[in-house]
Structure 1
Amino acid sequence: MHTWTTRVPSPRRLSGAYIGLGVLYVAAMLGLAGSSALPEDFMAAEAARFAFGLFGVSAAVRAARLPHLPRRLRQAWAAVAGCFAVLVVSAPVLLVIGTSETADAVIHVIFVVALLIALQLFPLARTSRRGQVKTAVDALTVLVGGSMVLWYTAFDPLLQSGRLTVDVTVSAVLYPIGDLALLFSVSRALLRGADDTARRPLRLLTAGTLVLFLGDAVNGYLDAHDLMLGSNWQFYWWITTDALLAAAAVEQSRPFLTKTARPGLRMGRFLPFLAVIVAHAMMFEAAVKSGDFSPWGGLALGGAALSALVLYRQTLVQRESDEQALTDPLTGLANRARFRATSNKSLGKGATAVLVIDMNSFKEINDTLGHKSGDLVLVEFAEVLRRCVPASGLPCRLGGDEFAVVLSDLGSAQQAYEIAGRLAAALGPVAIDGKLITLAASIGVAVSAPGELTHDELVHRADLAMYKAKALGPETRWAVWQESLEMAA
């Protein structure tokens, strides 16, 4: 058992790989800034992408060989290594055939397709059939919103101008269409959630995909409005994407603490709302530009207001549904699912304690006074927990007469012992249906240093301590886990 006298820090140090990646990125940006936008100077950008390709292949192959990762995730990183291999192979090819916008376009399309295949392999959190459909609908909403942006900024202006040549189509239309497919894939992953082993790298992959989409969309807009300033600027976007994808591979090699699935990432929930907002904003702008605000301007404003109200109501319903899924309906405390999720999150950040609490003589209360009175006793016990557990802690009901508490970010183990003692002192006689009933419980306490134990290991220790407390008699007692309890069990 560990006892701390000072606050336990949990710093995250930058690895040498991150430092090397940062140096490479700065050098690439400086190299681009010193070259012109003429085709003969594209080799500076190609050289930078070649360097990122080598770095990315190395990092992705290393991630693909990590034995503790799920098989499907290792396959995904092998596919990402293939994306970077495209950059490595393209450099000598361009030296032979010469650089051109067409060659860059072909390489870029191959890179996007390879990345799209890799994203399909990333393992997502398990969910029900209805949950899969909901995620797909939300991702399609994002896709439709992105498609409207593409139509309004690039494709429609090109149709109107009559300049829809093959080269222009590739850069202004095909690029963003490929990026839209990537956007759909990452939106689906963000909304549904990833296996915990892939959660952190997925954030960087998402950022890289968004940068790629934004850069290609801007390129399409400039092409459509005949505002191209040269093509060298687009390499800034592409190289930034390369850097983010390489960082994701490096991040995958960092140690993780749990292997449990995570719900959808919070940032993903806002993507469908953002898509709807962007769509209505473009409709309103089009109405203003047309010079005839009536009737389309008013309809656009009314449609935006209706969409906002519907989306707000959907948000409230979703929030209520999420709370119900994580709340015990009788006591209003957190349920077992939230208990596990909070414990896992806390163990990854700092020192954590778990209290496992089992009420004493609850079966006799149910048998003599009935289940209605038993429910009232559980509600009263929950109120005691709320009063004794600080705001930083989480009181939970695991089921029946079994409760638990998660204490996060402890400065010392003594803090957990003080809360256990406070809870024991607060239990006593209460009036239930006109009868005096004594609340008593057995409390087991276990503490983990940052990253020392998993959730199941910590709860197991707290369980053993609780059984030790229960063996001391029917009165309220609390005990702390010790190694001797493992041998006794």
Structure 2
Amino acid sequence: MHTWTNRVPEPRRMSGSYLALGLLYVAAMIGLAGTAAASDVNEWVAEVARFSFGVFGLIAAVRAARLPHLAPRLRQAWGAVAGCFAILVISVPVLLTVDPDGSTTANDVIHMMFVVALLIALQRFPLAPMNRRDGWKTALDAMTVLVGGSMVLWYTAVDPLLQSHRLTMDVAVSAVINPIGDLALLFSVSRALLRGANESARRPLRLLTAATLVLFLGDAVNGYLDAHQLYLHSSWQFYWWITTDALLAAAAVEQSRSRIANGFVFRPVRIGRFLPFLAVVVAHALMLDAAVKSGTFSPWGGLALGGATLSALVLFRQTLVQRESDEQALTDGLTGLANRSRFRATSYKGLAQGKRTGLHSAILVIDMNSFKEINDTLGHKSGDLVLIAFAEVLRRCVPSPGLPARLGGDEFAVVLSDLTSPQQAYDVAGRIAAALGPVAVEGRLITLAASVGVAVSAPGELTHDELVHRADLAMYKAKGLGPATRWAVWQESLEIAA
């Protein structure tokens, strides 16, 4: 008999690396603010801070790139991120030694090298496989984000620069070339968020997204200041760059803490689905702002407002259609329960979460008894009504956040997560067995009966396939006890018998 030991969930504590990173960031911000009046000192403080984040991030990224349980492409991605930090570590002392005055050109060259290395890293992230249609949808959504970002760039930097007729090399790099590189980053990170990432990379990818957005917005603001000949932005630019460095380092720390094995399902990062909508909102906001600043709201202001309203209505309708489509793709058409795809994804998620929180997960595999005889004697229509009635029993007996699912035919399953002990899974199996009995189907009383197999995984003990295999063995054990409803728990002896 398999022996269970209850484990007390360990609280998720803040990592010492995160604490050190936060303190370093606060110290850098205070140092920049305190030396803003002295440009030379301010430059030194900024470069020392960037060097510190470079060393910090380099160590974390190298550690992430060496994790054996990560997919090879993911390790390569973090190797490229380590290259970003290596650029910082090498360039900062070189700049302070060879170019102590901190020329704009030298900083811009280093910045472009940094962006290129980060772009390579984003291209190496392993993304979910997609069919041709879904690939086009993802590309179009990412292009929507790119166009929105381009409008921000045009409005804040490029157009003011063209209007000023001041196209020097330094200004062109700051106002145009840097943000164009950032647009490439924006497209790459949007594509990654929309396609979906491996479970172990989802949190780091969120932080990489935040770093990319900060970098893009910072370069756009600096381009605006350059285009308007506002030369008080030297320390302001360092605020953006240091924040980007800190977020990248945090992403590397998060990945280096990952203990989720490779092979979990790919899922879109939730924030990704909102990026195209945000891009449309930003675009219309810029048009409205330009109409107001022109001094005459008519006619362009009214047209911009109408266009914004129409876009909002279309986007809202698209959201409803997409939600309905997602639900249909993950729902069994007959019973309304989750289908096999959602069952599998929910199981993966529960097992990964249980590994982090120290809680158990369980799967119940359920096979209806004598269902073939019902179909043969009463017809498929009555058989469908029996399946619907059986699904209703599962809905009543499975507590939230448990998920009942129909795997196909007369085979059902239940995913249970966040269990403090295996007994909770056994209680659910007992409730299902007790609830099954006679139901009225087209004027006839039909007795619902099923065989239920239960398998429970301690935190981090089993994979989804192993858990389903054990629940299957237990279900066949219950079926061997006769046609009446029975439920059985996996035991090691079942493996020997199989």
TM-score calculated relative to the size of structure 2: 0.94
Q: Distance in 2 between matches of 1:266 and 1:92?
A: 40
The number of aligned residues is 488
1:364 to 2:368 alignment: no
Aligned-residue offset at 1:263: 2.3
Q: Distance in 2 between matches of 1:194 and 1:303?
A: 34
Aligned-residue offset at 1:224: 2.4
Q: Distance in 1 between matches of 2:347 and 2:233?
A: 53
**3-state SS of 1:343 partner:** helix
Of 120, 125, 129, the residue aligned with 1:126 is: 129
- Give the partner amino acid of 1:194: A
Q: How does 1:200-215 map to 2 (within 5 A)?
A: 200-215=203-218
Equivalence for 1:60: 61
1:324 to 2:328 alignment: yes
Q: How does 1:199-278 map to 2 (within 5 A)?
A: 199-254=202-257, 255-257=259-261, 259-278=263-282
Of 386, 409, 412, the residue aligned with 2:395 is: 386
Cα deviation 1:241-277 (Å, max 9, x = unaligned)? 1111112122222211562232211111011001111
* Higher mean C-alpha deviation, range 299-308 or range 193-202: 193-202
8 Å contact from structure 2 (residues 73, 125) kept in 1: yes
Of 334, 337, 355, the residue aligned with 1:333 is: 337
Q: Distance in 1 between matches of 2:16 and 2:320?
A: 45
Equivalence for 1:457: 466
Q: How does 1:136-151 map to 2 (within 5 A)?
A: 136-151=139-154
Q: Distance in 1 between matches of 2:262 and 2:115?
A: 31
Equivalence for 1:154: 157
- Give the partner amino acid of 2:126: P
**3-state SS of 1:395 partner:** strand
1:30 to 2:30 alignment: yes
**3-state SS of 1:375 partner:** helix
Task: After the TM superposition, list the runs of 4 or more consecutive aligned residues in structure 1 that deviate by more than 4 angstroms.
Answer: 1-6
- Give the partner amino acid of 1:73: L
Equivalence for 1:476: 485
Distance 1:2 1:241, change over 3 A: farther
Q: Distance in 1 between matches of 2:37 and 2:195?
A: 41
Aligned-residue offset at 1:39: 5.1
Aligned-residue offset at 1:230: 3.4
- Give the partner amino acid of 1:445: V
Distance 1:258 1:429, change over 3 A: farther
Aligned-residue offset at 1:165: 1.9
Q: Distance in 1 between matches of 2:451 and 2:247?
A: 51
Q: Distance in 1 between matches of 2:292 and 2:488?
A: 71
Q: How does 1:410-429 map to 2 (within 5 A)?
A: 410-429=419-438
Q: Distance in 2 between matches of 1:190 and 1:251?
A: 17
Aligned-residue offset at 1:5: 6.9
Aligned-residue offset at 1:149: 0.9
* Higher mean C-alpha deviation, range 359-368 or range 227-236: 227-236
Aligned-residue offset at 1:37: 5.9
- CA RMSD in angstroms, aligned pairs only: 1.8
Q: Distance in 2 between matches of 1:165 and 1:408?
A: 61
1:290 to 2:294 alignment: yes
* Higher mean C-alpha deviation, range 220-229 or range 85-94: 220-229
8 Å contact from structure 1 (residues 377, 432) kept in 2: yes
Equivalence for 2:283: 279
Q: Distance in 1 between matches of 2:37 and 2:175?
A: 18
Q: Distance in 2 between matches of 1:416 and 1:261?
A: 24
Aligned-residue offset at 1:338: 0.7
Equivalence for 1:351: 360
Q: Distance in 1 between matches of 2:219 and 2:341?
A: 42
Equivalence for 2:385: 376
Q: Distance in 1 between matches of 2:111 and 2:33?
A: 21
1:185 to 2:188 alignment: yes
8 Å contact from structure 1 (residues 257, 348) kept in 2: no
Equivalence for 2:47: 46
8 Å contact from structure 2 (residues 190, 275) kept in 1: yes
* Higher mean C-alpha deviation, range 322-331 or range 22-31: 22-31
Q: Distance in 1 between matches of 2:442 and 2:111?
A: 74
Cα deviation 1:402-455 (Å, max 9, x = unaligned)? 101112222332222222111111111122222222110001112222322221
The answer for unaligned runs of 5 or more in structure 1 is none
- Give the partner amino acid of 1:91: V
Equivalence for 1:198: 201
TM-score calculated relative to the size of structure 1: 0.95
- Give the partner amino acid of 2:467: L
- Give the partner amino acid of 2:11: P
Q: Distance in 2 between matches of 1:219 and 1:162?
A: 17
Distance 1:37 1:90, change over 3 A: farther
